Amino acid sequence: MMRRIAVIASGRGSNFQAVIDAIQAGTIPACCVGLITDNPEAYAIVRAEKANIPVLVIDYRSFPSRDLYERALLSAMQQLDADLYVLAGYMRILGKGIVQAFSGKMVNIHPALLPSFTGLHAQRQAVEYGVKVAGCTVHFVDEHLDCGPIILQRCVPVLETDDEDSLAERILYEEHIAFPEAIRLFCEDRLTIVGRRVTIRR
C-alpha cells in the first residue's frame, strides 16, 4: 500500500531532498502529500515546488503565542492526514499535544549518536568532548528532546583535524542515507516499537 508522508522543515531541506529523491527513485513506497514550514524563506520550499509537493507556510513569527502557533500546526498536520510525519531540519521543539496526537507516526533525524549530544550544535559538542566516533540517529519523536525510540544509526570517525563544519559535512552524508532508509522501513510496515526498542522485521 502506498503510504502518505508529510515533511516538516525549517531550513535548506537537504534531508527533505534525499527523501524526495528516494520517493522518485521508487525506493520509498510513498507519496509526499505536503511540506509544512515555519519559515517563509526556507529553501525547502523551493525543493517542494520543484517536486510539485504542496507547501503550507505557518510562520511562527506571525502568531502572538506559541500555543496559537501549535494549534495551527496541529490543524495543518491533521489536514494532510499523513501516515508518517518527517521532521527534516525542523528547528522547534514540538509541544506535548502534537507529539501525543502523532505518537508512533513521527520521525526525526539528529546529527549525533543518541543519547549523546542532544539539542543544538551536536557536531560541535562531539568535537569539544573529544569523542572518536560520531554519527546520526533516526528516531521516533516522543515528549522529550531527541529522546524517542531509535530506528537507525550511522557512524563516522572523528578526525583530529575536524572542526564542527567538517564533521557536520561527513555526518550529513550519512544522514542522507539513514533517513530515507528509516522512512522506507516504516512505509514497508517493518518497524515495531517495543518499549524503548525498535525492532526491524526482515
Beta strands in the chain (DSSP E): 3-9, 30-37, 55-57, 84-87, 106-110, 133-140, 150-157, 191-194, 197-200
Which residue of the set 110, 121, 144, 176 is catalytic? 110
Question: For cell 578526525, what's the residue?
Answer: 159
Distance (Å, rounded) from C-alpha 12 to C-alpha 27?
23
Which SS3 state, helix, strand or coil, does residue 16 take? Answer: helix
Distance (Å, rounded) from C-alpha 187 to C-alpha 56?
23
Among 111, 56, 68, which residue's Cα sits nearest to residue 88? Answer: 111
Active-site annotation holds for 110: yes
Residues labelled as active-site residues: 110
